[in-house]
Amino acid sequence: MTTITIPTQGAPQAVTEAWTALPAWLPVPDLGLLSVNAFVLRGREPLLVDTGLQALEAEFLAALAQVVAPEDLRWIWLSHADADHIGNLRPVLERAPRARVVTNFLGAGKMGMMGGFDLSRVHILAEDEVLEVGGRILRPQRPPYCDAPESLGFHDATDGVLFAVDCFGALLPTPVADAEAIPEARLRAGIEAWSAIDVPWLTRLDRAWLRRALADLERLTPAHVLSGHLPPSRDLARLARIVTEIAPVGDTRRVA
């Protein structure tokens, strides 16, 4: 396999009949690769979840167009306002004149502070409000841990899809298509290494509280777990166990 040394957009990857992942890979020097994922829901009202890396604008737009014509997009779910999640928001909005951005109050506020966005195209989700998209319901879910307070995922009961924002992110040595292909020890090391960088307070959370928060997600019995920084998974119990059992994070380490 060719070594990835620059940000690289992958080919669209089917998750379900309706959901498709748009995976990219970002090298983190000396530590491995981080997946940077967006997702597309096809249907009567196509929806895009996050907009990828600005460094991959042309490649991202080409990958998106393989799944859905950008002008047909009706919704853009913005998980949070970090650069790796809104990198191509402006060019996508230019190509999707009917699309509205879905976020919460803080997410809209951050967009406003950045400037250059037409806030009349933003749909602010109120607390406990659901989003109906082409006949299916996306029920917002706050992730158990995050690196931005506006972070907002969702559960799609129709396809059993849970979007967990940045939860379960991991540094990996090579690209993989799904999390089940990652050996347990390597996945644990990858989650630990990325947590040390992105959410170093994770291991300071009350363990009992974190287990309860993850158990709430498990009660949704998702068939597919989508993360911004991990290939798609079909085993939430495995991910939850690793997160609650990882050793204290005091340093980063190379993923080998």
Return the pLDDT at 239: 97
Return the pLDDT at 252: 45
Say which CATH superfamily domain 8-245 falls into: Ribonuclease Z/Hydroxyacylglutathione hydrolase-like (3.60.15.10)
The Cβ-side half-sphere exposure at 112, using a 13 Å CA radius, reads 11
Return the pLDDT at 190: 96
**In order along the chain (256 residues), what is the average pLDDT of each group of 10 residues?**
86 98 96 97 98 98 98 98 95 97 96 89 93 97 95 98 98 96 96 93 83 95 98 98 71 47
Whether the CB-CB separation of 20 and 13 falls below 8 Å is answered with: yes
Domain locations in the chain as residue ranges: 8-245
Return the pLDDT at 248: 46
- Alpha-helical regions (H) of 35-183: 57-67, 83-86, 89-95, 105-114
Return the pLDDT at 247: 45
What end-to-end distance do the CA atoms of the chain give, in Å?
Answer: 15
Return the pLDDT at 185: 95
Return the pLDDT at 2: 57
Print burial letters for 31-51: b (CB count within 10 Å at least 16), e (below 16): bbbbbbbbbbbbbebbbbbbb
Whether the CB-CB separation of 12 and 21 falls below 8 Å is answered with: yes
pTM across the whole model: 0.94
Return the pLDDT at 228: 98
- Residue 176 φ/ψ, nearest 5 degrees: -135, 155
